[in-house]
Amino acid sequence: MYQWSDEHNMLRQAMKDFIAKELVPIRDELEHGNLPPYGLLRKLFATFGMDEMASASFEKRIAYDKAIEAGEVEPSEPKRGEGMDPAFSLIPTIELCRQSPGLVTAMGVSVGLTASAINSKGTIAQRERWVPQLQTMEKIGAWAITEPNSGSDAFGSMLASARRDGDEYVLNGSKTFITNGPYADTIVFICKLDEGNDRKDRKVLSFVLDAGMDGLVQSKPLRKMGMHSSPTGELFLNDVRVGRDRLIGESEEVKKGGRDGAKSTFQQERSGVAAMSLGIIEECLDLSVAYAKDREQFGQRIGDFQLIQQKLAMMEVARMNVQNLVFRTIELAAANTAMTFAEACAMKLYSAQQATAVALEAVQLHGGNGYMAEYHVEQLARDAKVLQIYAGTDEIQTVAIAKDLLK
Ligand SMILES: Cc1cc2nc3c(=O)[nH]c(=O)nc-3n(C[C@H](O)[C@H](O)[C@H](O)COP(=O)(O)OP(=O)(O)OC[C@H]3O[C@@H](n4cnc5c(N)ncnc54)[C@H](O)[C@@H]3O)c2cc1C
């Protein structure tokens, strides 16, 4: 039976202390002002040594991969992630999501998606060039696949293109809803190789871009419903010239950063959503229990009404189920085993739905106060909704699960 250990609980408490001291005092600026989240995230990394741990683990892995390339060792052990307790990376996610899930979105896209996409499919030179600063959040990353007319059908409707020109490529296209887009220093741009062939047969390639390149425009943050502490924007590419050194894997072979690369990134995203959902659910439940004990109507506390008790019970069931899914992720990662794609989709679908349902019930339980920005459940309900949309909508997860069952 998996349980949080004493060490895990110590980390949770340390995270809570950090959040109370550093995040809560500026939460209004992050959520309702224009304060980007990166300063706080860098402080978090420095306080918990996450930057040093990431650097040490990166250097160890690069040294090992260089030794393999030089034929000095056999490519077997150590495996990626070995020796690290996966719970230690999920606990900060859970705790941050109790207060400001947007911070996790911004951090997850920069480190979890952008750095990971380069690290898993890039050459050693590419990894050394971009990953170290992304992993420590010294630089901010964005991962861009979505376009105005290409969302769920990310590959089929993609218009962004790369055209060969001598030794270089010329990139064109626009991307939208890109997390960290307005502030990103490093961007993974996913597009199709235009060889004059039918668009559906074109290879999918990923390129790494740096802010400030000629022809690249990063929009201002878009206004949106929630996740305000995570800036989202558009990217416009007009004849951006790049060398092969920016093509991930430096090869047009599709397994080096093409559809497979993007798909493995989808899988990672989906697992992270369960931990995010757990943080939202835990916070909504705690706030709802406290309010149900405190608020009185008809001469008694509202927690004594059975209809309110039913809401609390449903929240507790959701908390237990989503926590169990998070525990399963941890156990599988510790055993170096991946979930199947269908399992990851099922976990994302269920967790996101539960987070949204719980947060909306928490608003209901708080009555008019729940609708007011002064009460934290209002923000969490707006934030939770996007978990059912990004990283693949509920409908797309459902289709993926059913496809797997029927294959
Ligand atoms: C806050 C935020 C941050 C984001 N960050 C990023 C990012 O960093 N990088 C990035 O590339 N993208 C990002 N996205 C984009 C996100 O991944 C897409 O919005 C999402 O995949 C859905 O695509 P869409 O918006 O085009 O909706 P559409 O695909 O147009 O879907 C519209 C509706 O149709 C449904 N639908 C579509 N196809 C089917 C089908 N086959 N069967 C049944 N129903 C279907 C959908 O489920 C949805 O309900 C972000 C989005 C948001 C809101």
Cα(148) to centroid(ligand 1), Å: 10
| Angstrom distance (rounded) from CA 24 to CA 100 | 9
Residue 235: predicted pLDDT:
98
Atom of ligand 1 nearest to the CA of 227: 1
pLDDT tens, 163-217?
999 999 999 999 999 999 999 999 999 999 999 999 989 999 999 999 999 999 9
pLDDT at 372 over 90: yes
Contacts of 213 (CB under 8 A, 6+ apart): 240, 242
Ligand 1 atom at minimal distance to the Cα of residue 181: 8
Q: With CA atoms as reference, report the closest residue to 376 among 386, 363, 385.
A: 363
The pLDDT value recorded for residue 79 is 53
Task: Specify the fold of 6-140.
Answer: Butyryl-Coa Dehydrogenase, subunit A; domain 1 (1.10.540)
Q: Is 149 in the pocket of ligand 1 (CB under 6 A)?
A: no
Of 100, 180, 189, 389, the one to substitute when testing ligand 1's pocket (max ligand atoms within 8 A of C-beta) is 389
Which one, of 176, 182, 221, 224, lies nearest residue 379 by Cα?
A: 224
Q: Taking 80 as the threshold, does the pLDDT of residue 121 lie above it? A: yes
> How far is 359 from 381, CA to CA, in rounded Å?
5
Q: What percent of the chain has pLDDT over 70?
A: 95
List the chain domain ranges.
6-140, 143-254, 260-406
DSSP letter at 247?
B
Residue nearest to atom 27 of ligand 1 (CA): 151
Whole-angstrom Cα distance, residue 144 to residue 181?
Answer: 8
Q: Are 369 and 322 in contact (CB under 8 A)?
A: no
Phi, psi of 294 (to 5 degrees): -95, -40
What does pLDDT average to over the chain?
Answer: 94
Asked if the model's pLDDT at residue 264 lies above 70, the reply is: no
Q: Is 107 in the pocket of ligand 1 (CB under 6 A)?
A: no
Atom 4 of ligand 1, nearest CA residue: 177
393 C-alpha vs ligand 1 centroid, how far in Å? 6
Active-site amino acid positions: 269
Ligand 1 neighbourhood includes 151 CB (under 6 angstroms): yes
Ligand 1 and 144: CB distance under 6 A: yes
pLDDT of 34: 84
Reply yes or no on whether the pLDDT at 344 is more than 70. Answer: yes
- Is 260-406 in CATH node 1.20.140.10? yes
Determine the Cα–Cα distance for residues 100 and 287; give it in Å rounded to an integer: 15
Q: How does pLDDT run across 84-104, given as a tens digit for each residue?
A: 788 998 999 999 999 999 999
* Domain 143-254, architecture per CATH: Beta Barrel (2.40)
Pocket test for ligand 1, best of 145, 149, 152, 186 (most atoms within 8 A of CB): 152
From the alpha carbon of 153, which atom of ligand 1 is closest? 29
Q: Are strands 161-165 and 186-193 parallel, antiparallel or unpaired?
A: parallel
pLDDT digits (tens, 9 = 90+) for 217-259: 999 999 999 999 999 999 999 999 999 999 999 998 866 556 6
Atom nearest to 145 CA in ligand 1: 11
pLDDT at 32: 87
Element (H, E) at 344: helix 341-365
- Please determine, for residue 80, whether its predicted confidence score (pLDDT) is greater than 80: no
Residue 156 backbone dihedrals phi, psi, to 5 degrees: -65, -45
Report the separation in Å between the CA atom of 365 and the middle of ligand 1, taken as the mean of its atom positions.
30
Comparing CA positions, the residue from 248, 233, 244 lying closest to residue 114 is 248
